Every structure is written in structure tokens, then in C-alpha cells.
Amino acid sequence: GAVVSQHPSRVICKSGTSVKIECRSLDFQATTMFWYRQFPKQSLMLMATSNEGSKATYEQGVEKDKFLINHASLTLSTLTVTSAHPEDSSFYICSATLARPGNPTDTQYFGPGTRLTVL
């Protein structure tokens, strides 16, 4: 099956610093990648949708200048949390899909997640 990796799996940083999280599709080319955040004991909330070669589409309430998303290739998307603060501490999960126009049933394949702790 399709495999999605994330790096790093855990990161601890000081308040005010920036953190970059990578999401890679290992054995397929992902036309679209999604970024979610999950607070403890809560569900996943979609942050943004990232299409290769174009700007990401952010969900309402998500600061695009704080959460920078780059989808430079069909196998790599990055999420950069800029000037991180303790309230940004969360579990960040990416997913990738092969979906093409006219083929909406393709599955989202999820990465293992990255736990960010901001001190």
C-alpha cells in the first residue's frame, strides 16, 4: 500500500523559533497533500490543502503566515510553524492522495504524525 512518512516524529523547540515538518509520499506521486492538527484526546482538524506547484488553501481560522506550506514536488510537502508558541504544541499529521479530477474516490494515506512541543 501507499506509504507516507513524516520527519521528524518529535520535536521540542523554544518559543519564538521556527520548526519545519516534512511529509513525503514514499512510493507514489501525491497530487494533493493535506495537513491536520490534533490536540490531545481530540479529533483531527484540517489546516490546509496543498497541491503540487500551487499555493496552499487554508481552512478558516488558520493563519497562513504562521503555518507556511510548501508543496514543491509530487512527493514532498513541508509545514513550517513560524515563531512557534506554546499554544502551537500539538500533533501534526499529513496525508497524501493520488486523486485526479474525475476520480474523487481515492483514499487519503496518512503519515505517522509529528509531535511538536514548544517550551
Judged by beta carbon, residue 54 or residue 105, the one nearer another protein is: 105
Report the nearest approach of another protein to the CB of residue 105 (Å). 4
Give backbone dihedrals phi and psi of 88, rounded to 5 degrees, phi first. Answer: -85, -10
Interface residues with another protein (CB under 8 A) are: 4, 6, 32, 34, 42-46, 49, 93, 95, 97, 99, 104-113, 115
Judged by beta carbon, residue 51 or residue 82, the one nearer another protein is: 51
Whole-angstrom Cα distance, residue 100 to residue 7? 26
Helix (H, G, I), strand (E, B) or coil at 84: coil
Contact indicator for 22, 4 with CB cutoff of 8 Å: no
Judged by beta carbon, residue 57 or residue 70, the one nearer another protein is: 57
